[in-house]
Amino acid sequence: MKLIGFFLISFLTVFIVGCSDEKPQNEVTENEEHSELIKLSDEVMKEFGIEVKEAGPGVIKNHIDLTGEIKAKPSKISHIVPRFNGIVQEVHKTVGEKVKKGEVLAIIESNESLTTYEVQSLIDGTIIEMHMTQGELIGTEAHAFTIANLDMVWAMLSVYQKDINKIKVGQNVKVSIGSIDTEETGKISYLSPIVDEVTRTASARVVLNNRSGKWRPGMFVTAKVYVSETKAPVVIEKTALQTIEEKQVVFVKVEDGFFPQAVKVGKENDDNVEIVSGLIAGQQYVSKGAFTLKAEVLKESFGGDEH
């Protein structure tokens, strides 16, 4: 902590100037004087990850969080069953291999005719199960291969009773496994008309493109279902908000530096927040790294280096 304090003292120059107690509620101008003005060099801003953006119109999207599981489309799963009982002469493919429709998977010698016949794939896909080995006596009562086309998969989401009336077919959904690299936006394509008697949940389905292979059946996923949108004249990133002396503030950029401007917030979500007053469209504000500026303001209010 002492090293951080020393670094901030070396690069952050704080100017304390007079401030008028009277401010228009819905407008801020750069000509006003402010109580805590902080001047930063470009080097310091880069070092502390401080970013500046421009406030402006935006959309506040409200969502409901759901959980679910990735599943293969039932119509894209093929169970290959031998036509006749016999001895497995050759096995050409194994689990995990991709195959084309009509490709030979194995050759079996029929017990009845003693002639061989080919077991072929009925679809393009990936072998996910195999139940035969060379020399094995195999019958027609069980499948020898299971092949799945996983180019498109389903995210089956559980919807609790309290949220059912808010979930609609066509709503946008962001599905994720907790990594930014593995997330995708889709739409609700189906909502089950019944509720499971055990879990007391309904099922919502989202179709996902899986040509990259990143979505694997059986994966646990989380999803944000966007249930409403509100347009607002001034929207900023939520990371810009800080609390100083029980007031919510945004650090606004002016010609000589940055100052903490008290604001009133409206609707919000996990990422963005509407500013009702205290900030106007076109003003520049600290979107990331605002906590560093807050720390400097608090340090000065407690007597600088003494605390």
Architecture of 63-73+151-230 per CATH? Beta Barrel (2.40)
pLDDT in tens, 102-144: 999 999 999 999 999 999 999 999 999 999 999 999 999 889 9
Q: For position 29, what pLDDT does the model report?
A: 42
Nearest to 238 by CA among 200, 291, 185: 291
Q: For position 302, what pLDDT does the model report?
A: 58
Residues of the chain with CATH 2.40.30.170: 63-73+151-230
Q: For position 22, what pLDDT does the model report?
A: 40
**What distances in angstroms separate CA 193 from CA 96, 99, 167, 201, one per listed residue?**
36, 37, 12, 11
Residue 173 · residue 186 · CB < 8 Å:
yes
Is 2-58+232-306 a domain of CATH 3.40.50.800?
no
Distance CA 58, CA 230 (A): 8
Mean pLDDT of the chain: 87
Q: What is the mean pLDDT of each run of 10 residues along the chain (307 residues)?
A: 40 36 41 64 89 95 95 96 96 96 97 96 96 94 94 97 95 86 90 95 97 93 94 96 94 92 94 95 95 85 51
Residues of the chain with CATH 2.40.50.100: 75-148
pLDDT in tens, 143-176: 999 999 999 999 999 999 999 999 999 999 999 9
Residues of the chain with CATH 2.40.420.20: 2-58+232-306
CATH of domain 75-148: 2.40.50.100
Distance CA 158, CA 225 (A): 12
